[in-house]
Structures are given as structure tokens and as C-alpha cells.
Chain A
Amino acid sequence: MKKFALAGNPNCGKTTLFNALTGSTAYVGNWPGVTVDKREGTYKRCPEPVSVVDLPGIYSLSPYTPEEVISRNFILDERPDCVINIVDATNLERNLYLTTQLMEIDVPLVIALNMMDAVEKNGDAIDAKALEKKMGVPVVEISALKGKGIAELMDRAYRASEKARRGETVLRDSPLAHLIRDVTIALEGQKVSAPLFHAVKLSETDEIEVKMHPELVRMVEEFKATFSDDTFGTDFEAIVADARYRYISQNFSSVLTKKDAERGKLTKSDRIDRVLTHRIWGIPIFLVILFAVFHLTFSEDFLYLGAIFRLPSLEELGLMTADGEYINFGAQFAAVFYDGAVYSPGVMLTNLLSLALDSVSALAAGWLSSSPAWVSGFLVDGCLGGLFAVLGFLPQILLLFLFFSVLEDTGYMARVAFILDRIFRKFGLSGRAFMPMIMGFGCSLPAMINTRTLADEKERTATIRVIPFFSCGAKLPILTAIAGAIIYQLGAGNADVITYSMYLLGMATAIVTVILMRSTTMRGDVPPFIMELPAYHLPQFRGLMIHLWDKLKHFVKKAFTIILVSTILVWFLSHFNWAWGYLDDEQMNESILASVGMLLQPLFTPLGFGSQLTQYGWIFAVAAINGLIAKENVVSTFGTIAACLGFALMDGMDEGVAEAVSMMQATGITVPALIAFIAFNMTTIPCFAAVATAKAELPKGKFKWTLLFWLVTSYIVASMIYVIGSWWWTAFLYAAAFAVAIALIVLWNKRRPVSHKVNRGEEAE
């Protein structure tokens, strides 16, 4: 089967074309660098099926980022039958720079002039025929988005692939022409494939090339010794780059006709940008947008209508009795949207789904009412309970994803990186790291996947590691339940303040650990921030829906595999003893899970919820371990056990809070230990799904260190909270220990300056 490769600048429409060619549903964003790995599909409308490979977007064939190396190696080593170079017609000059390099490789080449509709809309024109004549390779006008010109493109690519093409260079008239010719001849003698390309790169003393052909470097050096240029001296890299751009601007100014030659005329995109990145209003606008996204997704009082207008609750309206029973189904349905406050769309969708899931559970429980207790317990609590608890988060996760996709697709996220870079640089990251971090507040999974847009490997690793500290939606119930219980215990205070400060604690932990990593195991320069700012455009509805559908499929698949299996496992372990005898809920203290919990309990003593607790103390250990499967399990474990312990639940308390209060009373846990427990769950190893995602996204060899990092961080943070909370004067000891640690790190770093050579992330940790 013939193989065609799609190559081009980032954000030039490669993935859109790939989707149009192969019927695939790969994700397209308006953020340079959305495709990070190569992808394959099949185009079926040529005389024979053709395999199409979508390569990561690149600006050049010099290896600056990992993606560029992937693309370069693919074209050189895998020798595709044809390279289709997608050129963004609205940005001809810079796009053709890559084309001049691709031309030098001995491989059939076809140029796809994309976004021609946008060029015409601006009133500009590009003479494709003239371009074809000048470049000496076929040029086809297409619109990947509208599917125009694609058949012709593939037809010409297919014909081009029939015969071999010899590399051509635009450097024939440059001062280096002689050197390039001599090196090419030498390489031809060695039977190297694509000799011209290698010769040019060698003349530029490109890192990879010098390693491959060390014997020819002497030739370049000798030439250099006799060479002198007025502007560049012997800076061959600059001469080559300059020659390419010079060639492009000389030859293609005639190809491109601009309607409006006057510079500084504002386009629509410019006018939008003027507001969104305003010197004073830029940051406030960004904060408002961010708040709006979270408010629409999570708020239980939409636009604060309930608080402002003092809207009556369902009970006050007579739709719900004092016991919390709805008078009819209509009232129950109304409760999906309203109870003393209008819910946000995200909460409404969640409630709607819960209503459906609850009726399924009730139905199942009804059918199984005559079967043995363990059968209904297993099916209803074990399988459905765990599964539904996780599925219940689906609407909010999807909604958050949708909002962030819209922001990204319009091009706003690139501006956010622009606005925030200054702040992020202080922590040793670039502005690009912002987006995945903020997504972490919703769910760590999409957040970790998003780190692919970070060019620097160290930055990517550090970001993935701190994403779980941005407390996700599933951790919120832990916060609210325990904060409520603490307020009850103290008899005063404000639960919101505790919740809010725990969020801040998570972010502070992220900042401190990033700084620590960047100054110890991941030292190196702050990654440079040189980024294209794409023009704003309206989001593509179809693309967004495809993206959401993919997420939905992925999530549901996960829920019915990993999560289902683990909830079943937990149920079995908590309902059987070591002799494999079935236990009722009340006998849970004798279960396998309880004995494992008791075994691990001493480990948590420094954190306040270990051996110092009374008989049911193992619950906290078990809850924390259950949380490793899904963070929702932490509070649901309390719920199950509180019910089994037979504590009378107090009226007027929110769900979860009553359970947490009964846990406090049963175990005698102190307030500092409870806060330590929240902190531990927030900063420790995240849920199973997030761990699996981290493993897939982290560079090789970083995964086990990341697990250790999470464990150590959570242990230190939680024990610090417990110890200082219990004995305030120990704060001085911690402060002293920190001061010593920082002093040691600073001293050590001074003696061992960062070497700039080791930039590929191979440092030992």
C-alpha cells in the first residue's frame, strides 16, 4: 500500500485535512501543536487504497522540539511515497520556509494550498499556477474545512508518487552553493539517501547531522576558514535561513496580490484581540471568563438568583414534605432544575442523569427484593452503586471540556498563555502550562492529555505531576463533607472558608513543588516562549461535537471496565472474611478490607488518622485507599460504614456531612487530623484513571518517580498540618527544616551549574 505523509506548519489545517481524507475524528484545535504524535488512516478513493500519515506540525526540519524530530525522521527514514505539504495560504511566507526544506529531500512532493477561501474573503489573491511553475512541484488549491479540492489533490499526489523526484534547493545562488554541492557529491559517494538535504543540514552544522557524518564536518570547517560574508561572517546557519526567506520574498511577492497593502489596518480578529489582551482589562476579562466557565458547570445557585431574590425552596412551596419526600413525580422532576435557587446548566444535567440512574437502581432493587441479601447487595451496591457514582460526574466533565474546547478553538487559550507567561515564568514554567493546570479543577484526565501542547519535556513532566493538586470535581465531596463536620464539631465557623482554603492549599503545594522540582531534579533553563498567535475564528461546531463524542465514548468505556471491576472488588473485600464467609453490613469490622486497613493504619499515625484512633480507625485508612480507585469512594465509604454503624443521622445536614460527623464520633479523630485527611487525599496519588493517563503521557522512566513524588508530597503536607495543628510550636521546627533544605539546595546548585547540553530530559532523578 502506498504511504502519503501530511507535513506542514502547526495550525495550518493538517488534521482537518486528515479527517476529511480518512473519515477519522482526530481532534483539531486552534492552538499551535495539537497533534503531538503521528497518526495513520486510509484514503480509499485513489486507484488503490492509500495510507495517510498525519505528522505533528513543524516550522522547520531542524530538531527543536520532539515533534520536529518525529516528522523529520518519518520523512527521511520511512520514505513515504509522497509528501503532501499543507501550506496555509493566509500565511504564505512562513509556511513556504518549510516547503523549501522539504523540497531538498528526494521524495515526491505536492503542495496543498489550504485556506484559500479565507484569502479570497480578505480580497487577496494567490496565483497557484505561477507558484507551481516557480516551485517545480504540483500545487493544488484546497479548503480542508469545506472538503474542496481534495479529490484533485489526492489525484495529483498519486500521480506524483508514480515517479521518483530528485531534491532541489533554493540555495543554488547563495554564497554556500559551492560547499553544498561538494558535500552533496561526497554524500552521494557514500550512497546516502537524500544527499542534498543532508548536505544542507551539514553545512548548517545541525546537531543530528554532525553526529551522523562526523567525517564530513572537516569539509565544512575548511570552507568556513576561507569564507567571509559582509553581514553574517561565517554564521552558516544564519546565511541559510536568510537565503531561504530571501528567495521566498523575492519570488513570491508576485504570486500574492494583497488588496490592502496598507499596514496597520485592523481586521476583525485584531479588534477582538485589542479587548481580550488589553493592558488593564486583559487579566480581569480572563478571570471573569474562567469564573463563568466554572459557574456554568458547577454552581448550585446560577447567577446567584436564589440568594439575591430569596427564592423559596421546594419545601416552602409545598412540593416537598419535611421528611424530604416529593409530593409527586412532577415535584421530583422540578427538583432537577430548582430548589431555592436555579441550578447552573451543569448541575441540571447532573441531576437529570442522577434521576435516571436512581430510578434504574430502584428498579433493580425492586426486582431483587426476593433474592438473597448478598445477591441484591452485590448487584445494587457493589456494581450499580460504584458505577453510577462515577457516571454521575459525566455531564459536568463533558460540559467543562466543551467550554475549554470552545476557548481553545477560537484561539483565546493561546492569548491566555500570552497574558500569564510572566507569572508562570517565576515558577520555572511557561504560559502554556496554564491551560492544563486550570483544567485540573474539572478533571485530571483531560488536563494531563492537554500537556502535550507543551514543547519542553521537563515542563510537561512537572505539569503532569502537579495537576492532581488542582482539586478535581470528584474531590469536592470530600472537602464539603469534612468541612461541614468540622464546623459541627467546633460549633462555629464557616465551611466555605475551609473548602476555599483547601483549594488554595492545593495550589500552594503545586507552586512550591514545581519550584522545588525545577531547582533539584529538573533543573534547566525556563523553557523559551516563542509562539505563534493564531487568528481568532468561530469554533467549528462539527469538530466540537466530534471531540465531545470521543470523550463520552472514552469515559463510558472506562466506567464499564476499570471502575466497574474495582467497585466489585471493593464490595467483595468488604463483605467477605478470610475464610470466604459472607458478612452482613454490620460485620464489616471482620472483613478482609478491615484487616488490611488495620494493617496499614499505623502508617497514617503521623498524619493523625492512624493508630491513635479507636476501634473503627481503620475506616480512614480504607477510605483513603478506596480513593485511589476513584476519589468519590472516600465519602461513599463513610456513607456505607456510617449506615452500618447505625448512627442516627441528624436532620438538616447535607449529604456526606452527617456521615463525616458520625465517623468523627465513632473514631474520636481530632480536627487537625481531619484537615490532614483532606490534604492527604487531595495531594496523594490521584484516582486510578488519572494514574493510567499519567503513565501514558509522561516521558519514559518518569512514571514510578511520579508515583513516589505524589506519595511523599501528600505525606509531608498532611503530617505537617496534623503536627502543627496539634502542637503549634512545631511550626518553628518545620520552618527551620525548610530553611536548611533550601539553603542546601541553593548551595548545591551554585556548585553545579546547569549544563546546557543535557536538555533532552535524560537526567537522573
Chain B
Amino acid sequence: MKKTLDEFNIGEAGKIVSVSGEGRLRRRLFDMGVTPGAEVLLRKKAPLGDPLEVTIRGYELTLRKTEAACVTMEVEK
């Protein structure tokens, strides 16, 4: 099943299918290791529901829902 990263629930994991978004933003996501094929686990949401904290490539990354919406995921069963 495919959905974007911002639609994930806490504890849900998956593989990145594609990354969209405006040039510089997407570049930044790539540089931080958010590339197709990478495994992502949604660790938690901030107390106000946004931003998100994910584990990717062995480290913790935080990004906003608007940025997470650029990341299409294949949900892990």
C-alpha cells in the first residue's frame, strides 16, 4: 500500500518510493538520506502534532508534515 510519509502513524515503517517537492527542498531531503529505497520508521510526532521525528539510515531526523508530504512511501506489512 502506498501513502505519503505525513499520513503515517507512530510506529509505522516503510520504504521510500519517490521524493517530490521544490528543487532546493528536495535536494536537502536527498542530502539527509531521504532517497528512494531508504527505510523509514515514524518515531513520534511533536506535542502539537507537527513536526515529525523519523529514524532513517540509523539516525533521527525531524521534518514538518508539509515536507513529509513530498515523500511517497510503500508501507511495510
Binding site for B on A (CB under 8 A): 59-60, 62, 64, 91-94, 97, 231-232, 237-238, 241-242, 245-246, 263-264, 277-280, 282-283, 418-419, 421-423, 425, 431, 528-535, 756, 759
A245 to B19: give the CA distance in the assembly, Å. 15
A282 to B36: give the CA distance in the assembly, Å. 32
Contacts of A431 in B (CB 8 A): 51
A435 to chain B, nearest CB (A): 15
When the two chains form the complex, which single residue of B19, B25, B31, B36 contacts A97, counting CB atoms closer than 8 Å?
B31
Provide the B37-61 mask, 1 if CB < 8 A to any CB of A, else 0.
1100100111111110100011111
Are B33 and A97 in contact, with the CB atoms below 8 A? yes
CB of B77 within 8 Å of the partner chain: no
Residue among B37, B46, B50 having the largest count of chain A Cβ atoms under 10 Å: B46
Chain B stretch 9-31: residues in CB contact (< 8 A) with chain A: 18-19, 22, 24-31
Contacts of A62 in B (CB 8 A): 27, 31
B14 to chain A, nearest CB (A): 13
Contacts of B64 in A (CB 8 A): 421, 425, 528-530
A515 to chain B, nearest CB (A): 19
**How many B residues are at the interface, by size bracket?**
35 or more
Chain B residue with the shortest CB-CB distance to A64 = B28
Contacts of A759 in B (CB 8 A): 24
CB of B62 within 8 Å of the partner chain: yes
B36 to chain A, nearest CB (A): 6
Contacts of A238 in B (CB 8 A): 19, 30, 35-36
Q: What are 25 residue pairs bridging A and B, where the CB atoms are less than 8 Å apart in the complex?
A: A59-B28, A59-B31, A91-B57, A91-B58, A91-B59, A94-B32, A238-B30, A238-B36, A242-B37, A246-B37, A277-B53, A278-B47, A283-B47, A283-B48, A419-B46, A422-B48, A423-B48, A425-B64, A528-B63, A530-B61, A530-B62, A531-B62, A532-B62, A533-B60, A535-B60
CB of B67 within 8 Å of the partner chain: yes
Are B45 and A279 in contact, with the CB atoms below 8 A? yes
A232 to B18: give the CA distance in the assembly, Å. 8
Chain B residue with the shortest CB-CB distance to A93 = B57
Are A237 and B30 in contact, with the CB atoms below 8 A? yes
A751 to B53: give the CA distance in the assembly, Å. 37
Contacts of B18 in A (CB 8 A): 231
Are B60 and A532 in contact, with the CB atoms below 8 A? yes
Are B63 and A530 in contact, with the CB atoms below 8 A? yes
A421 to B59: give the CA distance in the assembly, Å. 20
- Given A277-B47, A278-B47, A533-B61: A241 touches B35 (CB 8 Å cut-off): yes
Are B61 and A532 in contact, with the CB atoms below 8 A? yes
Chain A residue with the shortest CB-CB distance to B49 = A422
A530 to B30: give the CA distance in the assembly, Å. 11
A87 to chain B, nearest CB (A): 13
Contacts of B28 in A (CB 8 A): 59, 64, 528, 530
Chain A residue with the shortest CB-CB distance to B52 = A418
When the two chains form the complex, which single residue of A245, A263, A419, A529 contacts B63, counting CB atoms closer than 8 Å?
A529
Chain A residue with the shortest CB-CB distance to B33 = A94
13 further A-B pairs in the complex, CB-CB below 8 A; given A279-B47, A423-B48, A425-B64? A237-B26, A238-B30, A242-B36, A242-B37, A263-B41, A279-B44, A418-B46, A418-B51, A421-B50, A528-B64, A529-B67, A530-B62, A533-B60
